[in-house]
Amino acid sequence: MPELSRRRALAAAAVVAGAPLATATAARAADHHHDSPGSPAPFDEVYRGRRIQGRAATGSGHHHGGGYAVYVDGAELHVMRNADGTWISVVSHYDPVPDPRAAARAAVDELQGARLVPFPAG
């Protein structure tokens, strides 16, 4: 059996200390699945003259938002849900918002009338 070194003791302590965090993170991720009760509600509205829509994603696409798709004037806005439950988009990446509707509105504000060019799927 190998001798217990300071490095191995610290590594073991880190694993033990991180286990509850990993379990909590996995549970939170499971709660954010698109079929969960906490999923964002679909929306379809005109905001500042632009049609914004959001709904559960189906089929192919570039979805990091837990199976949720957002559109501005029919063009898909790439959105992503952060670990803390906030949302960002490819247009307003450094300004997290509480939900996909707010992400769509922030993108419209940022675009200032410009057309959204779809983000290519990987």
Q: What count of Cα atoms within 13 Å lies in the side-chain half-sphere of residue 22?
A: 6
Other Cβ atoms less than 10 A from the Cβ of 119: the count is 16
Residue 25 Cα to chain centre, angstroms:
14
Q: 114 to each of 61, 105, 110, how far by Cα in Å? A: 23, 14, 9
pLDDT for 82-119, tens place per residue? 999 999 999 988 999 999 999 999 999 999 999 998 77
Give the pTM.
0.65
Angstrom distance (rounded) from CA 23 to CA 93: 28
pLDDT for 34-83, tens place per residue? 444 467 999 999 999 999 999 998 765 555 546 899 999 999 999 999 99
Q: What tokens were used for 48?
A: 């500042």
Angstrom distance (rounded) from CA 122 to CA 45: 29
Shortest CA distance to 108 belongs to which of 44, 52, 64, 40? 52
